[in-house]
Structures are given as C-alpha cells and as structure tokens.
Structure 1
Amino acid sequence: MSRGLRIAFFGSSLVSAYWNGAATYYRGLIRALHARGHRVTFYEPDAYGRQEHRDLDDPDWARVVVYSAHGTDGLEACLEDAWGSDVVVKASGVGTFDAFLEARVLELRRSGTQVVFWDVDAPATLERVAKDAHDLFRPLIPRYDHILTYGGGAPVVNAYRELGARRCVPIYNALDPDTHHPVPPEARFAGDLCFLGNRLPDREARVEDFFLKAAALLPQARMLLGGSGWEQRVLPGNVRRLGHVYTQDHNALNCSARAVLNIHRDSMARFGFSPATRVFEAAGAGACLITDAFEGVEQFLEPGREVLVARSGEEVAEHVQRLTDTEARRLGQAALRRVLAEHTYAHRAVQVEAELGYRAAGAEVLAPGGT
C-alpha cells in the first residue's frame, strides 16, 4: 500500500471561523484528504483574534501549527518544518506576510515537491492584479506548479492562464456531511428568512438589495441577520441581529428558518461559477435555499427544483411570500440529495489527487496533472 502525501498548508485558520470565511472549505477538504491517507500540517498565524475565538480544538485529522504574527521568525521556522513535503500550499488571504510567503514557499520546490497557490478568493486576486502591473504576486504566478481556486470556472481559469499560470483548476466548495447535516429546529433561530455573512465592503450593497430591501417589502416577515460587523447598521424593524454565529450552530440556524439566503460578494458575482460555502452548508442541512443569481448556478443545483434564484430584493420577497412549509421542505430535500450525490468534499479530494498526479496504488507524485 502506497503512502499518502505529506502536505504543508499555509492558510488563514483551520481552528477558527472568526472573520475567516474559508474555514469550512479548509476543514472539509483537509478532512477528506486525511480520510484518503494524506497527512496535512496546517500553518496559521495568531492574528485577528482568531485564536481567542476558536470553534475547533486541534483535530486528529490534521496537525495545526500556530505561529506569531509579529515578525517572520515563527514563519521561518514553519517554512523549515515544511521542507521536504510532497506538496506545499500557500493559500490566498492568510492575512499576515502574504507577499513574503508567496515568494518564500517557491524556495521549497525541488524534485518530488510540488508548490501550489490555492486561491480562496480568485475574483478579488485577479481584479487586484489586473489593476496593478507592479503587483508582487503577478510575476510569481508562472512559477507555481498549480493554481487551484475556490471557484470561478472558465473566466478565472482563462484569466490565470493569461497571466502565465502553468495549470489552473477550480476546486469548488462542497459539503462535509459529518459537519453539516439536518438537525431539529431551534426556537431561537425561528424565522421566515435568514442571512449569515460578515459585513464586508464588497458585499454590503448586495445585502442592502437582496436582504434588507426584501425585509422592508415584507414588514410582517421575521428576518434573521447573522455575522460580525452589523452592530452599527440601521436595519428594518423586522430584522433581528444574531451577531457572530459559531459553526456549531450553523446546522440549527439553517434548519430553523423557513428559507436561507445566500448573497455573493461583488467580485464573485461578476466572475460567476463561485457558489459560496453557505450554499453547501444550507443544502447539506436540507434547508430551503434562495440565492442571488450567478452564472453557472445550474452546475451545482437546479433552479426551481433544488434552489430558488433571485435577481433582486423584490424577487427574494416574492419567493418568501409564496413559499409554504411543504414547498420549503421539498426544495431542501432535493438540494440535500443532489449535494450528497455530487458535491461532497470526498468528491473534491479525488479531484485534488488527480490534479497533483497522485495514485493510491502507484507512484505517489507524478508530473503535475499526470495520471
């Protein structure tokens, strides 16, 4: 039996979802890779209060190394620890010393070691690079063995190829059925529509349009708003703030409201083919999902049968007004069946292995993209 890959992964945080939208994605993928025999060490900075707001103890499916965000000494020790790994991953948006890491991980390349840039916010990265010809990441792109992305489809792949990427493959969000699944509803999360998302500059206008406008149009509806940063925002009277909702409460939230709303950030909506983590969290809980329209939605869920799609706050309000409990359950169950059949992190882990050229019964690492 061949050994699994030793993977060194530099990311924002595995153990905390606090101001860290990639946490669910990281956890699902890394758990699935571990289940297939690979060994992952996740290196994360002690930054942004994430260690104080942990929602996960150090897991048995990954080794977690936390380093100081003050100076690069701790990071240099992590890079030394990662030396000799089969795969070294630098994720986007670590939040501290990103430019330093993007260059330094490339120094770990050698025969038998592949270096990957894993872009968990490709639309934002590509828009930033396009605006600045002197962006420090731009000349590094052709040096990575692989660019893997959280989403984006052909628009993202083509944009990275134009920047010289050797390979660019989307590894989409997915469902971890052990983490997100149906649970009994809880009265504290009862409502007609809930939206969960941190207040971010490139999302707020869309939240205003798709959620707050819908709330204003349905003054009798019970609306729930979860996420950090909304404390000072003036809201319609029928919107109840939940504040930061810890990941262990996501299932209860998704299973308690009649419908769950997904709203993309501006750049993700423009590029399309980028279903947010919330899409699969909600579908995995059997929730009735309403999403803002994005190109490629039918690749993941069938509109009208597995998901409701809205192009404005008015359409969100229309969906909520027409939605019966019976129809909500039917849509939620259809979505759950679809994601279990096609969109779990176990499916994505197989895709990652194929891209890295890993074969369980043969040589561990082949040429990039080999079979």
Structure 2
Amino acid sequence: MRVIVFCHSLQSDWNHGNAHFLRGVCADLIARGHFVEVYEPADAWSVTQLVAEHGATPLKGFARAYPQLHSNRYPPGTLDLDLALADADLVLVHEWNEHALVQRIGEHRKANPHYRLLFHDTHHRAVTAPESMAAYDLRHYDGVLAFGSAIRDLYRAKGWAERAWTWHEAADPRVFRPLPGEPREGDLVWIGNWGDEERTAELHEFLLGPVRSLGLKARIHGVRYPEHALQALGDAGIAYGGWLPNYEAPRVFARYGVTVHVPRRPYVQALPGIPTIRVFEALACGIPLVCAPWDDCEGLFEPGEDYLVARNGNEMRGHLHDVLHQPRLAQALAEHGRRTILARHTCAHRVDELLDIYAEIAPAQSQAAPPAGALNTTKPQGEPQR
C-alpha cells in the first residue's frame, strides 16, 4: 500500500511533539513493506527554530536515528498534488497544516477518488480554539483520526466531520526501551515544554515544590521556558538541560530514578482520557512514573500498577519519596508499565488500527495486495532546506 503523510515536520521535534508518534507510525508501516512518503513545508517553524538554536547537527542526528525516514520539504504554494498523490492508497493529513493546504487536498480527493483521505487531530484546539478547527474544510475527507474519544465526539457533535475514529498515540518500542547499565545521574528527570502557561500552577505544585522540599537531584529538559520559569527552576535546585532530541529520551530516563506526568489544564478540565505521548514513552522505557491528576476514563492504563497518582503536592512528595527509597516498588511500577505498553500501546498496535480503518473505508479495487517490488522506504528528495 502507498501511504502519503502531510505533517508539520517529521525531522524536528523542537516544540513539536506530534513528530514522535508520526515517526513511529511511519517506521512501522515501512517495516511491514508499505511505501510511505512524507511531505512537510520547507519553512516549518519547528525546523527553523531548531536550526537557529542548534545548527544542522540535530537534523543529522535524526537521520542517524531514523535512517528509513525521509521528508519531501516543499516550498509553500508550489506543491504539485497531482504528482504527490498520483498512486496513493491512503493519505493522512495532520492538523498542524495550513487551512489552505487541507482544503486543497480535500478538493483533490473529490476529483480523484482512487485514494482514501483522513484528517489526524492530536491537539486540544478543538476545545481551546474551536473557531480555528471549524475553519478546516473536511467535506471531502473520509473521516478524522482523533487522539482521544472526547476529540472524536466533538467532531461528530459539531458537524466538522461525518465520520471519526479514536486513534490514541503510542510509543515505538524499537526506540523507547529500557537501557540498563547507564550511569546514574540523579533522582528525577522531567522532559516537557513550559508552553503557554497552561500548567504553570500545576508544575509548581507537582514538580518544582516536591523536588525542592525533598532535596532531590533533578533535571528538566524542554523549550519555551521564559525567564521567570528558569528562575523558578533555579530556586528549586533543578538543573535545566534545554531541548533534548526525543530519540535521546531513553538514555536520559535510564539515568534517573523517577519521572512525572503533569498534564496541561485543557486535558484535565475538558478532554479527559487523553495522556500526552510522554506517558507512553516513559512507561515503554521502564522508568517509574508518578502522575498529577488526570482521568483515564478510556481505560488505557491501570493506575496504581502502571504508575502512581498524586492528588496534590503532598501526595506527590510522598510518592516520589517512596519510589526513590523502595526499590521493589520502583521495579514493580517499571515492569508493569512496560508490560502494558507492549501489550496495548505500541505504534504497531496503532498501525493495526489504522489498517482496519482503511479496510473499512477502502474502495474494493484498493484492497488488492501491493504490487511486487514496491518500495519499502520513504525516498529522500535532496538535502533539507535551511
């Protein structure tokens, strides 16, 4: 099968967590023998910011970490959809694309019914910026892949799409796995962006405060930390490590005793059942996890077995102390959490679900086996533009 993906960026995960899951899905499709081709704009802000801060080295690091993945970086306004979609079977359009491109692809699908077209939503904008999401023209799309049932239901209720499926994110266990033997560097590590003040109070209560009161040796990685946030980290005695390539997270997790999940407020208040992909990745890496409150109403995990839940800062302090001082508890959490990921939440599981959805909506003539000799990797289109 020929799968075409339109996304903001596959190469850069600088303030762009959507790249994590897309990399795993594309890699798994390729491993199964499908042809995958990815398109991203040449001026993608994630790549632009990454190169401005760190040069071209991280892009080379991505190429080494994912040698099977490549992107076609196109200048805005010049993308030839007839060429890009000529032999497509399935097309995925991620929601961090311009409205005009989403509409253009939909109109192309109307005129060329040989492929199936799905919109992929992995953000809280359906709640926090509904006017922006309503502006996407999805009339000619075959449906929406939503990373939680609450998002799926919004598309249906608001009439943004006739069909929508829940398609949770997941971890790629080929990348996110335990790395025994790494030297211990500290007690707690957290990988996440400060963001748009959507969880400032929560970070103080569930992360900075407990670290300070317990005197933990802690480190934080991420971007978009304003000066007041950096000052707060310093006051809590937390080292700030800046941006971390996502494929390096397993090595960092392996050097610390525990990590935490502090969800953004929109997910807690309006979109229950949706964890960030960091939860899947941390559990896949076998590091004990303690979560600030979130409602796992879709039954993805087993709270208390896969991870501990702290209802407030005092409980977070207690849980962190216990995990760091009770090796059996830490080991039990790490092993149970990883088993759950391997049993239900890998990118391979999500590709199974995607192929089931495709089979449900595919035209009869598209369900034949792919032709012999079909390419099994994405094809590079020259050097990334700077």
Q: TM-score range by the shorter chain?
A: 0.7 to 0.9
2:355: which partner in 1? 353
Which of 63, 66, 73 is the aligned partner of 2:73? 66
1:192: which partner in 2? 187
Distance 1:301 1:139 in 2: 33
**Kept after mapping to 2: 8 A contact 1:193/1:222:** yes
Q: Secondary structure at the match of 2:39?
A: strand
Q: Secondary structure at the match of 2:62?
A: coil
1:304: which partner in 2? 304
Deviation at 1:78, TM superposition (A): 5.5
Distance 1:32 1:227 in 2: 27
Distance 1:37 1:358 in 2: 20
2:382: which partner in 1? none
Superposed CA RMSD: 2.5
User: Can you list the C-alpha shifts for 1:242-294, whole angstroms capped at 9, x where unaligned?
Assistant: 11112232112212211111122222223022121111111111110112222
Return the letter of the residue paired with 2:129: R
Runs (5+) with no aligned partner, structure 2: 369-386
Q: Is 1:224 equivalent to 2:227 in the alignment?
A: no
1:99: which partner in 2? 99
Change (3 A) 1:31 1:243: same
Q: Secondary structure at the match of 1:279?
A: helix
Which of 128, 133, 146 is the aligned partner of 2:143? 146
1:281: which partner in 2? 281
2:210: which partner in 1? 214
Runs (5+) with no aligned partner, structure 1: 367-371
Change (3 A) 1:86 1:60: farther
Distance 1:263 1:136 in 2: 25
The sequence identity of aligned pairs, in percent, is 25
Q: Secondary structure at the match of 1:116?
A: strand
Q: Secondary structure at the match of 1:9?
A: strand
Distance 2:81 2:253 in 1: 38
Return the letter of the residue paired with 1:32: D
Q: How does 1:263-274 map to 2 (within 5 A)?
A: 263-270=262-269, 271-274=271-274
Q: Is 1:89 equivalent to 2:85 in the alignment?
A: no
Q: Secondary structure at the match of 1:57?
A: helix
**Kept after mapping to 2: 8 A contact 1:117/1:148:** yes
2:63: which partner in 1? 57
Q: Secondary structure at the match of 1:56?
A: helix
Change (3 A) 1:33 1:319: same
Return the letter of the residue paired with 1:128: A
2:376: which partner in 1? none
User: Can you list the C-alpha shifts for 1:57-93, whole angstroms capped at 9, x where unaligned?
Assistant: 185544420123xx422xx236642344222221012
Distance 2:8 2:34 in 1: 20
Change (3 A) 1:63 1:79: farther
Change (3 A) 1:203 1:43: farther
Q: Secondary structure at the match of 1:355?
A: helix
Distance 2:178 2:309 in 1: 22
Worse-superposed segment, 203-212 or 16-25: 203-212
Q: Secondary structure at the match of 2:241?
A: strand
Distance 2:316 2:191 in 1: 15
User: Can you list the C-alpha shifts for 1:80-127, whole angstroms capped at 9, x where unaligned?
Assistant: 423442222210124xxx111121110221322222110121x22343
2:251: which partner in 1? 252
Change (3 A) 1:63 1:244: closer
Distance 2:223 2:128 in 1: 25
2:339: which partner in 1? 337
Distance 2:9 2:256 in 1: 29
Deviation at 1:33, TM superposition (A): 1.8
Q: Is 1:327 equivalent to 2:311 in the alignment?
A: no
2:384: which partner in 1? none
Distance 2:305 2:143 in 1: 36
**Kept after mapping to 2: 8 A contact 1:264/1:292:** yes
Q: Secondary structure at the match of 1:20?
A: coil
User: Can you list the C-alpha shifts for 1:196-223, whole angstroms capped at 9, x where unaligned?
Assistant: 11120124333223211222332x2112
Distance 1:237 1:127 in 2: 31
User: Can you list the C-alpha shifts for 1:115-160, whole angstroms capped at 9, x where unaligned?
Assistant: 2110121x2234311xx3xx474462444211002x222x222211
Give TM-score scaled by structure 2 length.
Answer: 0.82
Q: Secondary structure at the match of 1:174?
A: coil
Distance 1:175 1:81 in 2: 28
Change (3 A) 1:331 1:298: farther
Change (3 A) 1:298 1:304: farther
Return the letter of the residue paired with 2:299: Q
Return the letter of the residue paired with 1:168: A
Distance 2:25 2:188 in 1: 29
Distance 1:158 1:183 in 2: 39
Q: Secondary structure at the match of 1:259?
A: strand
1:128: which partner in 2? 129
Query: Which protein has greater RCO, CA pairs closer than 8 Å, 6+ apart?
Result: 2
Q: Secondary structure at the match of 2:63?
A: coil
2:371: which partner in 1? none
Return the letter of the residue paired with 1:56: F
Distance 2:297 2:178 in 1: 23
Worse-superposed segment, 85-94 or 274-283: 85-94
Return the letter of the residue paired with 2:311: R
